[in-house]
Structure 1
């Protein structure tokens, strides 16, 4: 919270007191001051007196401005000092903004890395769930335990605390989440509990070893196998992309 307030305050100063043209402005003021200091006194007095004479002659009603007789270069030194001080403050604010921006990015990256590690812990490539997606064949029985990680992911990872700061990674996680949701929905529609440990696509009245398998069941097997393979590819793609960009 404190960091956010500091960032907002420095951004305000940077925008309104030190806009993008600040370096050009600084050099213009400094150049004017240097010009005032280095220009010969006689030339400056002549120019000032000419301007004053023109002003006195054109004023309505007329008023008299005294002529300049000498010059102490005070204004030139003031302009040089102000320009240098302005540039110094600008550099300090820019440095602070860069430091805060770096700290914020580092913290966001740390959060994303922690979240990525939780994802890999839930879905290790050599874990039961991922291997089921890679090698599983729904024409055979499927272990219920291989579905646990998918269930945990579907029920937990939609919350805000499981959102990646990196928008591209979050987009790919959302794609994986949608695939998991679709896959689990199909599994719940097409499979039956064979016993306490396994799921099967075959209704109780069909024995795949002896009975003819209906085409509808074959289609369901193909659908589940295709979705499982698609999930595996998306999982591997997500792991590869996240490792590269975190």
Structure 2
């Protein structure tokens, strides 16, 4: 269903196109030129033009067409003034409508930027580039143990940033947020499946207990570690790309 606001915007857009088409400026200048021509052209010259026009019509049509004698050109001057005035009024109205539209568009853009900026500030608090989760994604080799607390920022982002309250109004930023969330969600799922706790502490490992400390690992363990390292690197790169896009689009 089309909302009332969308219907209003559609009606305004169509009305603007019908009343003020793209050739408005050319049309305005044409009307002004005709009006000024009527005002500046003297009666004898107009009489010569009218007689030439009548002779041309009679010659091509074969009919005897005549016009009344021109004795007073005041009516012509009135029409010239009317044409010029209408052109000026139309031009003023056209510029005024464009001015209102630009003000409305600028106001809406500022509101969107303000809302997205506030949301981005929240993101930087919950998932900054220097947090433990970002360092884990960037630096850690999953052939080694890792601290389970290091994924806290990552888990909060995946759990919280997939609802309507965390949608960016800028489509470019929003597309990057979705890409980042999907990558982080996929990485956390892989991490939960491929790792387990070591002992009774908060350390986790992708290597099964039976192979801990071994130099030569089975192929499935090597493949698991490589996949985790690859996914972690992708998440970090997308995190940094998301931050860079936000700073560029929001200028903050």
TM bucket, shorter chain: 0.7 to 0.9
SS at match of 1:131: helix
Counterpart for residue 86 of structure 1:
90
Counterpart for residue 38 of structure 1:
40
Counterpart for residue 76 of structure 1:
80
Alignment of 1:18-57 (within 5 A): 18-48=20-50
SS at match of 1:199: strand
Contact 2:54 2:65 in 1 (8 A): no
Counterpart for residue 109 of structure 1:
113
1:140 aligns with 2:144: yes
Counterpart for residue 16 of structure 1:
18
The CA deviation string for residues 14-64 of structure 1, in whole angstroms up to 9 with x for no partner, is 31111111111001001101111111122324544665788899799x998
Q: 1:224 to 1:26 in 2, by over 3 A?
A: same
Counterpart for residue 226 of structure 1:
230
Counterpart for residue 169 of structure 2:
165
Structure 1, unpaired ranges of 5+: none
Output the CA distance in 1 between the equivalents of 2:82 and 2:94: 18
SS at match of 2:20: coil
1:190 aligns with 2:175: no
Q: 1:54 to 1:212 in 2, by over 3 A?
A: closer
Number of residue-to-residue matches in the alignment: 244
SS at match of 1:158: coil
The CA deviation string for residues 147-166 of structure 1, in whole angstroms up to 9 with x for no partner, is 23222322332334323333
SS at match of 2:175: helix
The CA deviation string for residues 173-229 of structure 1, in whole angstroms up to 9 with x for no partner, is 22222221221121121112344633322445x262479743422321222122212
Q: Give the alignment's TM-score, normalised by structure 2.
A: 0.81
Contact 2:35 2:79 in 1 (8 A): yes
Output the CA distance in 2 between the equivalents of 1:139 and 1:112: 39
Contact 2:131 2:153 in 1 (8 A): no
Instruction: Select which of 201, 206, 221 maps to 1:201.
Output: 206
Q: Give the alignment's TM-score, normalised by structure 1.
A: 0.82
Structure 1: 4+ residue segments shifted above 6 A: 1-6, 52-60, 62-65
Contact 1:32 1:76 in 2 (8 A): yes
